[in-house]
Structure 1
Amino acid sequence: MVIGNGMVAKSFSQYLERENVVVFASGVSNSKLAIESEFEKEKNLLKKVLQEHEDKKIVYFSTFNLYDPVEKNSPYCLHKLDMEEFISANVPVYNIFRLGHVAGQSAQQYTILSFLYNAIKDGTSFKLWKHASRNIIDIDDISKICSYIIDNEWYLNQITNICNNKNTSIVEIVDILEGMLNKKGNYSIFEEGGCPSVDNTKIRLIATDLGINFDDSYVKDVIIKYYGRL
């Protein structure tokens, strides 16, 4: 069973007919504009799912931003932390996946990649945080890695980071987009931002076995894959 209809939910469609697993991918979509009522809506939906499927494994998607010194105390991150703690206290069998910054074909326009792409393309001015970075990972790779863990029943009742080997600075992301668009961005640089700590030890061998290579060209290749033909 899959709960949700967004990009992450759709990438786990192979579990729609699975009887022993509930993939809960119906979370708050816009982390910057989220309000308390949306957080409560997600939690209440999860409680309802647990009541109806108490004998099934729950798969929940949290956020890698909990490792970001700037973002970790945001309302969105505190909500995700609350959801993690609720699941760990009330669900007999679960997998919690903290996802890096998801890149995908149907990623919402308010994601950082889409925001930067559109700002550079349209010549819109924006603030560039010099010390900020994001951990970019392809939704296709997220689906492959998480499915491997779910199907093999690894890391049960644990939090697992699903992320790239390293972060990419916003400055570098802008540079990649400028090169792809052949256009200089209209931005002002600010001495702000944070860098999340990275630990993907649990998934490195899995990624290798699946043919996923988090090499130096990975982020550029992912950006071109989803934004190169827009």
Structure 2
Amino acid sequence: MRIVGLGFLARSIRTIADAHPEAVAFAAGVSSGDGADHAEFTREATLLYDTVECCRRTGRQLLYFSTASAGMYGIQRRAGREDGPVRPASPYGRHKLAMEEVIRNSGADHLILRLAYPVGAAQRPHQFLPSLVGQVRRGRVRIHRGARRDLIDVGHAVTLIGALLRRGVSREVVNVASGWAVPVEDIVAHIERRLAVAADHEVTDVPPQDPVCTDRLRRLVPAAAELGFGPGYYRHVIDAYLAAVPPSGRP
């Protein structure tokens, strides 16, 4: 596997690279759903155009990491499905949807992965869980009440991606998520319990967010049922992260 990128996802999928020599994983995109930097979006788009053209010429399969966040699906009062409507609610979501369309219309073989919120020890401090943990440790945390996050251990995400590639899944969009969207206040409460810290909460109400549908993922990878996904799964993800990352923030 050729991996385009040097960040958290790029490093995480190296474990399956040798098993999939015909794949090209594009993991060089904007790393934060809060990003709205036009220059960063332009940089990703330019690199993606070149990568897509290379895959089209060589016949290799492009693996593209999109997003399964509310930034893509918006507020719909239903679980976000890959074959259903999308209502991108942020510049990040609109950018990712535009990149998906570029890939779909390119003629290159591809697999688009709408990824939830992967968690692992090598994440950057600005990403979702490291940011929350840092805020709690400093004693003051911002909570968007109504927001939900589907946390998935990055190792489980890589396992699922490897299974999709082994099955030869092609020209599909797949939500890679646990299927359980957890209120942010519950995530913060669990972090506080584990760290034995009662942080001050700065609360802002936002419209309730919806989960994503994982029916397609479970149909394509039945072994997903063996990864422990369920209403309490997020606690295991947080516990594993905290065990791997000491108070210094370095794994």
- TM-score, structure 1 as length reference: 0.91
- Please state if 1:78 is matched with 2:82: no
Choose from 170, 185, 188 the match for 1:171.
Answer: 185
Greater Cα offset, 41-50 or 65-74: 65-74
Pairing 1:41-80 to 2, within 5 Å after superposition: 41-54=43-56, 55-65=59-69, 66-69=72-75, 72-80=88-96
Counterpart-to-counterpart distance in 2, 1:159 and 1:215? 23
Name the amino acid aligned to 1:28: V
**Counterpart in the other structure of 1:153:** 168
Counterpart-to-counterpart distance in 2, 1:190 and 1:131? 9
Q: What do the CA deviations read for 1:114-136 (whole angstroms, capped 9, x no partner)?
A: 12111111113x33222111111
Aligned 8 A contact 1:144 1:210 in 2: no
Name the amino acid aligned to 1:170: V
Which aligned segments of 4 or more residues in structure 1 are displaced greater than 6 angstroms?
none
Name the amino acid aligned to 2:24: V
Pairing 1:182-197 to 2, within 5 Å after superposition: 182-197=196-211
SS at match of 1:73: coil
Aligned 8 A contact 1:128 1:187 in 2: yes
Structure 1 portions without partners, runs of 5+: none
Greater Cα offset, 193-202 or 101-110: 193-202
Counterpart-to-counterpart distance in 2, 1:83 and 1:142? 21
Aligned 8 A contact 1:207 1:213 in 2: no
Choose from 104, 111, 114 the match for 1:98.
Answer: 114
- TM-score, structure 2 as length reference: 0.84
**Counterpart in the other structure of 2:227:** 212
Aligned 8 A contact 1:165 1:214 in 2: yes
In the TM superposition, residue 193 of structure 1 has moved relative to its aligned partner by 4.1
Aligned 8 A contact 1:145 1:207 in 2: no
Counterpart-to-counterpart distance in 2, 1:110 and 1:141? 22
Aligned 8 A contact 2:35 2:92 in 1: no
Counterpart-to-counterpart distance in 2, 1:207 and 1:222? 21
Q: What do the CA deviations read for 1:17-73 (whole angstroms, capped 9, x no partner)?
A: 854211111111233234111111111111112233321110000001212329932
**Counterpart in the other structure of 2:236:** 221
**Counterpart in the other structure of 1:8:** 9
Name the amino acid aligned to 2:105: A
Choose from 117, 131, 134 the match for 1:118.
Answer: 134
Choose from 17, 21, 24 the match for 1:22.
Answer: 24
In the TM superposition, residue 219 of structure 1 has moved relative to its aligned partner by 0.6
Q: What do the CA deviations read for 1:186-205 (whole angstroms, capped 9, x no partner)?
A: 11333224313320012225
Counterpart-to-counterpart distance in 2, 1:193 and 1:102? 23
Aligned 8 A contact 1:68 1:197 in 2: no
- Please state if 1:181 is matched with 2:187: no
Greater Cα offset, 196-205 or 213-222: 196-205
Name the amino acid aligned to 1:60: Y
Aligned 8 A contact 2:35 2:91 in 1: no
**Counterpart in the other structure of 1:136:** 151
Counterpart-to-counterpart distance in 1, 2:144 and 2:174? 28
Q: What do the CA deviations read for 1:80-104 (whole angstroms, capped 9, x no partner)?
A: 0000011000033110000011111
Identity of aligned residues (%): 24
Counterpart-to-counterpart distance in 2, 1:208 and 1:34? 36
